Amino acid sequence: MKTVKVNVVTPDGPVYEADVEMVSAKAQSGELGILPGHIPMVAPLQVGAVRLKKEGNTELVAVSGGFLEVRPDQVTILAQAAETAEHIDVHRAQQAKHRAEQRLQAKQEHVDFKRAELALKRAINRLNVTQNKY
């Protein structure tokens, strides 16, 4: 089986590295599926789960936006924050989700809705990844 090397990198350091059969990610332009030998490209990502098909299994990494870069020999995902399921604190994500929902319901002028919406997306994405949902 052909594979491609994948690295998920954040400002805090590398989060995931493996040789995989396929990388799937949610780009701003829609769903992307990258197989070994894909042409070079760069795509901005949405908040979402990156799916990595490895030896027939699918592994998930929660990614808070960023960029996906395809080069001939490897795929790099550069994100402000990214976590594999085992590194996600479920309680923290539930709290973040609750906080964001409260802010979105508040209908107060000082609330930055765009920011609250993004925080909500990050929290839901983390919870989905811990539940193996994508």
Positions touching ligand ATP (CB under 6 A) are 12, 64, 81, 83, 87-89, 92-93, 96, 119, 122, 126
By beta-carbon proximity to ligand ATP, the closer residue of 25 and 88 is 88
| Closest distance to ligand ATP from the beta carbon of 76 (Å) | 18
Task: Tell me the residue type at 22.
Answer: M
3-state secondary structure of 82: strand
Residues 65, 46 contacting (CB under 8 angstroms) = yes
Q: How far from 101 is each of 24, 49, 90, 125, 127, CA to CA, in Å?
A: 28, 21, 16, 14, 15
By beta-carbon proximity to ligand ATP, the closer residue of 51 and 126 is 126
| Closest distance to ligand ATP from the beta carbon of 16 (Å) | 12
| Closest distance to ligand ATP from the beta carbon of 126 (Å) | 5
| Closest distance to ligand ATP from the beta carbon of 72 (Å) | 29
By beta-carbon proximity to ligand ATP, the closer residue of 53 and 87 is 87
Structure token pair of residue 68: 């996906």
Cβ neighbours of 95 (radius 10 Å): 12
